[in-house]
Amino acid sequence: MKMARTLSLYFASLALFVFLFVLLIFLFTVDTDWYELLLQKSYLLVPNVFFILAVCLLVGAIAGYIVGISIDKQMEKIEWSLLELEGGNYDRVTIPSAKKDHFSSIWRGIDHIRSRLKEQTLLYQKFTNERVKWNRELTEEVLTQERNRLARELHDSVSQQLFAATMLLSAINQSPDPTSETTAKQRIMVEEIINEAQSEMRALLLHLRPIQLEGKSLKIGMQELLSELTAKLPLKVTWNLQDIQLEKGIEDHLFRILQEAVSNTLRHAKAKTLEVHMMKVDQFVFLKVIDDGKGFNMDDQKAGSYGLTNMRERASEIGGHVKIVSLPGRGTSIEVKIPLPNEEGR
């Protein structure tokens, strides 16, 4: 209603200016007794000059308010349409029929942006699907690079942890008093280091799974991954996965995003429970991974950077985005939203 109030004041001021301008013209061009006509004579007990002035101000204010209401409604529709476009809800934006008004060019621009965004989303997904096909021919090379990366991570993380545990064990063996408080603390540190190294190993082993789903559906591939976690780890894992038919490239990216999210949970979260949900709502696919781990401060870029950049990049490649919510000591929630253009858009 801001525009309505503004235009109401503007039109009322304009009416006052016009009234004074016309009054001055008549005063200097028409020879008559204006004092008697305007001040001594009255209408509804109000001198004519004040009555005419009040009518002008009222008409101007009402006209401005009506015009402002119309503009406010148009602006609200435009704002809502832009918010829908920002959220990826391209098919929910309704473009009014062409009118010869000041907003017709804006609506044409919004319609053009919507078409371009839909087209870009389709191109992203088609490109991803094609890239998956190309990657099939390079599987061996990719696997070799993945093994090399894992070897480096094993050396940088697990090997160093095991070396630290070895040094502590050596110190414990050389301790003159095996029952001392210092020795007891060293034993606890050794146990913690070994547990961290074990979690790190399990997380790295997740990435040794096939890069592609090898003909399996996305639901089955995810179930096998999560079932393996349930069987091998002291971690309560629950899932609710819809059987959704998607393009191969989208399935592959969602599977790898889940791998990365689970890997982060094992390596960093120290969680006791893990929940995974995947569903299709309207023209979107949602993947949500929730853990009750230690979380992190989202303002600390370094603390929240592990693996999250990779997930964001994968989601962006198929036209989606990732929403992350985490609080220290209260776990982490990762939600991936992927738009699926309808058949008409295809």
pLDDT band at 333 (very low <50, low <70, confident <90, very high): very high
pLDDT band at 337 (very low <50, low <70, confident <90, very high): very high
On the question of pLDDT at 183 being above 60, the answer is yes
Burial string for 14-27 (b: 16+ CB within 10 Å, else e) reads ebeeebeeeeeeee
Q: Which residue has the higher pLDDT, 137 or 295?
A: 295
pLDDT of residue 287: 96
Torsion of CA 141, 200, 159, 212, to 10 degrees: -10
Least confident of 118-122, 195-199, 209-213: 209-213
Q: Considering the entire predicted model, what is its pTM?
A: 0.53
Q: Which residue has the higher pLDDT, 213 or 324?
A: 324
Calculate mean pLDDT across residues 140-153.
62
The residue behind tokens 């609506």 is 107
The residue behind tokens 């699926």 is 340
Angle at which helix 104-136 crosses helix 48-86, to 10 degrees, equals 10
pLDDT of residue 29: 80
On the question of pLDDT at 345 being above 60, the answer is no
Any alpha helices (H) in the chain, and if so which ranges? 2-29, 34, 48-86, 104-136, 139-153, 159-173, 181-206, 218-232, 248-264, 308-317
C-alpha closest to that of 256 among 135, 78, 104, 91 = 135
pLDDT of residue 288: 96
DSSP label of 37: I
Whether the Cβ atoms of residue 198 and residue 190 lie closer than 8 Å to each other: no
CA–CA dist 335, 288 (Å, integer): 4
CA distances from 274 to 261, 263, 333 (A): 10, 12, 10
Mean pLDDT of the chain: 77
Provide the token pair at 192: 């913690």
pLDDT of residue 62: 86
Q: Choose the most confident range, by mean pLDDT, from 27-36, 263-272, 295-304.
A: 263-272
Calculate mean pLDDT across residues 181-195.
75
Calculate mean pLDDT across residues 226-230.
83
Whether the Cβ atoms of residue 73 and residue 2 lie closer than 8 Å to each other: no
Q: Which residue has the higher pLDDT, 343 or 17?
A: 17
Q: How many CA atoms lie within 13 A of 135 on its CB side?
A: 17
